Structure 1
Amino acid sequence: MKNIKLAAQLMLLVGVSNGALADVDKVQGISLEPATMSIAVGQEKYVATLISPTSAEDKSVTFKSSDPTIVAISQNGEIKAKSAGDATIQATTTDGNFTANLAVTVKDRLALDENKTINLADWDLEWADDFDYPDEQLDEKWVSQNGPTENPYVLCSRWRDNAKVHDGILELKAIKESRGGQDWTCGNIWTKRTFKYGYFEAKYKYAGAKGTNNSFWLWPKTKGVKEGEKAFEIDINEGHYPNEINTNIHNWTDVTTLQNGKVNHFKDHIIDTADGDFSEEYHTYGYAWDENRHEFYFDGKLIRVEENDFNHSETNILLSLAILSAEIAGTVSDDIDGTSMKFDYVRYYKKKPNVK
């Protein structure tokens, strides 16, 4: 008799325990990160869902915008700003129909003065490289990548051998050769010195083949970022042959994991094109940066202006030739072999005192 009672008690305990576990596996609430968002027309950002408890079995949600003409959202949490105004994104759990809201304010982009040009009389030249020296002196100001490239979209390893100074230019070469576990080699260098607010300018030609990424950009390569600052990337130009200009702003600190498991960061890119073959012609690419604004220039003319929300740390200058997969810069072919970026100069200016 005692054994029967004991078995019944054990069964009851197991039932309670299993029921408790079942409750834990049910969704009990949802919140969104962030809870509010400010975004400019044309930009894309992301929202993450935080389901409680974390042990919940079904974490799926559906998203809805109160006004898709102002802000649209995909079912993975990718937000696209359409027009100026206010809207609310609502997320609803499949399990339990719990909801959470994200208040979104969409603002117009800063107005572009299409007649504005860079006035170098307002700036003092503080640092420059005109590449008018023997090749071995390159290493006095620059560090070269010497090894494979970890980015899965980059098909080339990059080496000092592919960065050569001669006849007053720096040449970053693309060669079809197996080295470092990759089928191509290219050149990629960055400054030993770091920089902050100022005006950056480079004069260069593209490599003359599709599939190449011809970059003049900023990234905190050597010092990293201080606590509380953002790891940013500014692509002054990621040029694609024959005449595409890509200006990009990235925040690599604030990342979001979407419903599909993809990890995304904030990025804002604009593509421009101009007439001509940029592998045959030198053009200048400039970037004016202060506490409040980004200004991008092509051949001295303003082509883009944005608010500066997070770019406030010191950075290196990078000059990079890459070969990209996935048709990002066009089809990769043997036409790339032997082509090169050619830099005439790289310069950094600081605003003169009392000049606004």
Structure 2
Amino acid sequence: MTAKGARRPLRRVALALSSALLMTATACAGTAETPRAPTTGPPPSGSWRIVLDEEFDGTELDDRTWTTCYDWNKDGCTNSGNDEEQWYLPEQVSVRNGELTLTAERRETEGSDDRTYPWISGMISTGRDDWYAEPRRTFTYGYFEAAIRIPPEAGMFPAFWMMPESKFTPPEIDIMEFLDTTEQVSMYVHWRGSDGDEERQRGTYGPADFPDRFHMFGLLWEPDALVWYVDGVERLRVTDTERIPDVPMEVLINLAVGVPNSPPDTVDTARMYVDWVRVWER
């Protein structure tokens, strides 16, 4: 993903976990279509406290924690840096049965930026309602994890990521992205090098049938390491401190459309489910 203030568009865990922190053998029951996800948690080293524990209980999104747009558009929003095809609207975000659902629909919509978008979709962020407001929640270091079930439809761009409170990227951390396949997750860190150019490092994990069930995507962010986890297992580690952000960052989850390819004509809707989102700090 990329922020509005980015100078150019971005194209976009084997610390052993103790048995108490591994996936539970029996997951809590949910709907037949979207079985509830088990839980992992932060690596066992050190002491941790949970500072964000979102279970999506009730029937409405908690607007004290989440907003449903980026802060640079009104009456909806999009991420123009990626040439995405969706206009995000609050009504595409729903909470029911302990899950968040982000729904993408093929519906031509004129955005407040005077462009016409072929799709509408949903997103959540701990950021602002508008450019001049304060973000709801930001974090500098910690362990971040969400249980997410991505849609199987082609042409979708689901992501769980972080961007700076400053609204300008890089830096940026992409905890998970699915670009041109649902069988391989991408993990990125973006930073600005000593020459001022944007740099990035990517890791991947797969193949796996990610739309088949919930998977847990986690990130350990510390001053000397970034460690990505999928289902409690380390998949990528970065230890070069030049590449590790040291600024407050917002948490975002979104279902973008059309990156890198548009959905085929046979696809008119897609849904992304989020069982929970949690953040721990030392």
TM-score (norm: length of structure 1):
0.57
Amino acid at match of 1:139: D
* Pair 232,161 (structure 1): closer, same or farther in 2 beyond 3 Å: same
Amino acid at match of 2:84: V
Q: Which has the higher strand share?
A: 1
Structure 1: tracts of 5 or more residues without a match = 1-111, 257-263, 352-356
Q: Which position in structure 2 is the counterpart of 1:320?
A: 254
Aligned-residue sequence identity (percent) comes to: 23
Q: Does the CA-based 8 Å contact 1:231-1:253 persist in structure 2?
A: no
Q: Which position in structure 2 is the counterpart of 1:267?
A: 200
Q: Which position in structure 1 is the counterpart of 2:95?
A: 165
Work out whether 1:304 is the aligned partner of 2:243: no
Q: Which position in structure 2 is the counterpart of 1:86?
A: none
C-alpha distance after superposition, 1:217-266 (max 9, x if no partner):
0102x4447xxxx841100001245221100011258776xxxxxxx621
C-alpha distance after superposition, 1:136-160 (max 9, x if no partner):
x432211111234322431111111
Distance 2:177 2:195 in 1: 22
Task: Say which of 265, 271, 279 aligns to 1:340.
Answer: 271
What root-mean-square deviation, in Å, do the aligned CA atoms of Structure 1 and Structure 2 show?
2.4
Q: Does the CA-based 8 Å contact 1:208-1:336 persist in structure 2?
A: no
Distance 2:149 2:266 in 1: 17
- Structure scoring higher RCO (CA < 8 A, sep ≥ 6) equals 2
Q: Which position in structure 1 is the counterpart of 2:191?
A: 251
**Higher radius of gyration, 1 or 2:** 1
Number of aligned positions between the proteins: 222
Distance 2:187 2:66 in 1: 23
* Pair 154,124 (structure 1): closer, same or farther in 2 beyond 3 Å: same
Q: Which position in structure 2 is the counterpart of 1:27?
A: none
Q: Does the CA-based 8 Å contact 1:131-1:345 persist in structure 2?
A: yes
Amino acid at match of 1:144: T
Q: Does the CA-based 8 Å contact 1:171-1:341 persist in structure 2?
A: yes
Task: Say which of 53, 68, 72 aligns to 1:144.
Answer: 68
Q: How does 1:135-284 map to 2 (within 5 A)?
A: 135=60, 137-145=61-69, 146-179=76-109, 180=111, 181-191=116-126, 192-220=136-164, 222-224=165-167, 231-240=170-179, 241-251=181-191, 265-276=198-209, 278-284=210-216
TM-score (norm: length of structure 2):
0.72
Could you tell me how far 1:271 is from its partner in structure 2?
Answer: 2.2
Distance 2:99 2:194 in 1: 38
Distance 2:268 2:192 in 1: 32
Q: Which position in structure 1 is the counterpart of 2:223?
A: 291
* Pair 280,348 (structure 1): closer, same or farther in 2 beyond 3 Å: same
